[in-house]
A and B are shown apart, each in its own frame.
Chain A
Amino acid sequence: MEAVETEDLFKTYGGKEPVQALRGVNLSIKKGELFTLLGLNGAGKTTFLRIVSTQLSSTRGTVHVLGHDVLAEANEVKKHIAVVPQDVQTYSNFTPWEYCYYFSLLRGMSRSRTIEVSEKALKAVELWDLRNRTCVGLSGGEKKRAIIATALASDADVLLLDEPTSGLDAVARRKVWAVLRELVEQGRTILLTTHIMEEAEMLSDRLAIINKGNVIAEGSLDEVKGLAKEKFRVVVEGNLRDLTLKNQNHVSKFGNKQIIYVGDEDEGLELVRTALKKGLRAEIARITLEDVFVKLVGGIEDN
């Protein structure tokens, strides 16, 4: 049985100009894996997550969470999921402890169990020392971690996290990453959406790219990266007219800097050597998930 399974999932928002947010999404998320959903703003990630978390009706198709239909067995699904919505904010007069405590009580836990899981969750996100400070006195990262702790304290099997680290600084983000990976090691399933490609690269067991409501790529990190025919990138600083490019390479230009995508390492190394000879700065690296993402969603133009 899969943790989350969707079949032919469609969602159209009504109104004067209907918007098709999802167009036949088929995804299968295994138990105990961290699955990342990547996509541009408005690609359908949040819509997908909200349907899975029983908050939004689909127009067509089915969704099962741990074998339970989200429409017919919503109450059963809710026992197994916890959600961190996108851009969630805190009650300013609440403490991290109160968040964990009250929300765990609402899940039907006993008082002693609530205290136990709240303590564990707050320690996991390193907020134990700040547990009694009201949110108004916490930093943005600490508030976010308080909400994440609420989800952790839920004991839910499947965590649905919609851009949980957006707005966090690098240090706070990495603390959350460590917690999420730890949870996966403990057997929990995490469905994560993010705009941070490094996050997806560091955390994902598998990932999918969604674009205009369609899944355009799915698999492990290597499988998704393998979808691009270019395997390496050369970053050149200086005037590109001094170089002769072969093979109609894709080039992304940012002022004086440009990324040239090449098919193999030899071609890249040759390009670096030539650039250095011409007095330009150049370095070669494997293509990143961001390169593949931008290319797949149509953000890279042909040279």
Chain B
Amino acid sequence: MNFKVVKDAFIIAALKSLPDLKRNPSMMILIGLISAFPLFFIIVFGGQVSNGLVGAMIATISFIGLAAAIQDISFDRYVKIREMIVAMPVHPVAYAMGVAMAPFFISAPGLVLFICIAIAIGALPLLSIGWTVVALILCWAAGSSIGFIISTYLRKASVYTLNNMGTILGLGLVFLPPVYYPEEMLGGYRWISMVFPTSNAAGLIRFYAGLTKIPAETVLLRWLILAATVVVSVIILSFKARWRED
């Protein structure tokens, strides 16, 4: 990957985030609020705030990453901005990375806030921050990659269909698996949490934060599954994603 690809990715990320942030800064608060919303119920109904904060972190990064990957690309196709970019000396990887990074920029303040709160209340030991960040990055990468696969394979779907799909899938991946709640609640079906990148990353963060106990070999397996989700998604994408249409 050369320097121009990285530079272009940052330009596209800036293009897709800075005007939004400049004119609509409240969207940062909105994204944080959506992710923090379940915390309200967790607190009211006596759940563990520490588990909820892990969920809020994952939701902030993965929901917006996945939804943006689907919605931004389908919207760019709809308004034909994509046609202008395809005809420019921009690598498709730079475009994909830029589209994925833009929501990362927008959601970063919310994410930092949740991490700070988690540290402040003792839910996230300082020593676990490194692993937490790596898990969050992989979760974001997996969510974005899945989003890219959907928008690439459903090229002919309308922008409205893809928008709805992005939102439904994003919400589904964040609220159904054990992201806001501990995976122990699934009992014998606890393994399900490893299937979804969101709950898998949440489980890893909880493990490093000391909120749950997972055998060492399972921790390794979880990292492998999370990394494999990203790698497999990228491989699938590389087969189908083409700058030039057939």
Contact = CB atoms under 8 A, between A and B. Distances in A.
Interface of A: 14, 50, 53-57, 74-75, 78-79, 81-91, 93-95, 98, 102-103, 105-108, 134, 147, 150-151, 154, 160
B83 A83 contact: yes
A66 to B, nearest CB: 14
A143 B6 CA distance: 30
B87 A94 contact: no
A84 B243 CA distance: 17
A227 B231 CA distance: 60
B217 interface: no
Given A83-B84, A85-B80, A102-B14, A54 B19 contact: no
A107 B84 CA distance: 11
Interface in B226-246: 243-246
A57 B245 CA distance: 6
B79 A83 contact: no
B89 A54 contact: no
Interface residues of B, number: 26
A55 B83 CA distance: 7
Contacts of B157: none
Given A74-B244, A90-B79, A102-B15, 7 more contacts: A50-B83, A55-B243, A55-B244, A85-B80, A88-B84, A94-B19, A108-B4
Given A106-B8, A134-B23, A53 B87 contact: yes
Contact of B81 (A50, A55, A88, A98): A88
B83 A88 contact: yes
B49 interface: no
A236 B14 CA distance: 60
Interface string B1-42: 000100010011011000110011000000000000000000
Contacts of B89: 75, 78-79, 106-108
Given A57-B244, A85-B80, A91 B19 contact: yes
A88 B244 contact: no
Contacts of B14: 102
A76 to B, nearest CB: 9
A85 B20 contact: no
Contact of A103 (B23, B84, B86): B84
A88 B80 contact: yes
A210 to B, nearest CB: 20
9 contacts: A54-B87, A55-B83, A55-B243, A74-B244, A82-B84, A95-B19, A102-B15, A107-B88, A134-B23
B85 interface: yes
* Most A C-beta atoms less than 10 A away, residue of B8, B81, B88, B244: B88
* Most A C-beta atoms less than 10 A away, residue of B15, B87, B88, B246: B87
Nearest to B78: A89
Contacts of A55: 83, 86-87, 243-245
Contacts of A53: 83, 86-87
A95 B88 CA distance: 20
Tell me if B's interface is mostly helix, strand, loop or mixed: helix
Contacts of A87: 80
Nearest to B75: A91
Given A74-B244, A91-B19, A98-B19, A106 B85 contact: yes
Given A56-B245, A78-B89, A85 B83 contact: yes
A57 B86 CA distance: 13
Given A81-B87, A85-B80, A94-B19, A105 B24 contact: no
Contacts of A14: 246
A108 B15 CA distance: 15
B90 interface: yes
A132 B195 CA distance: 47
B87 A88 contact: no
Nearest to B76: A91
Contact of A102 (B11, B23, B79): B11
Contact of A93 (B24, B90, B243): B24
Contacts of B24: 93
Nearest to B19: A93
Contact of B86 (A54, A89, A90, A107): A54
Interface in B65-85: 78-81, 83-85
B246 A57 contact: yes
Query: Sorted from nearest, which 9 A-B pairs have the closest CB atoms?
Result: A89-B79, A83-B87, A85-B83, A85-B80, A102-B15, A53-B87, A88-B80, A78-B89, A55-B86
A72 B58 CA distance: 43
A235 to B, nearest CB: 39
Nearest to A89: B79
Given A90-B79, A93-B20, A93-B24, A105 B84 contact: no
Contacts of A89: 78-81
Nearest to A154: B88
A53 to B, nearest CB: 4
Contact of A106 (B20, B90, B246): B90
A88 B79 contact: yes
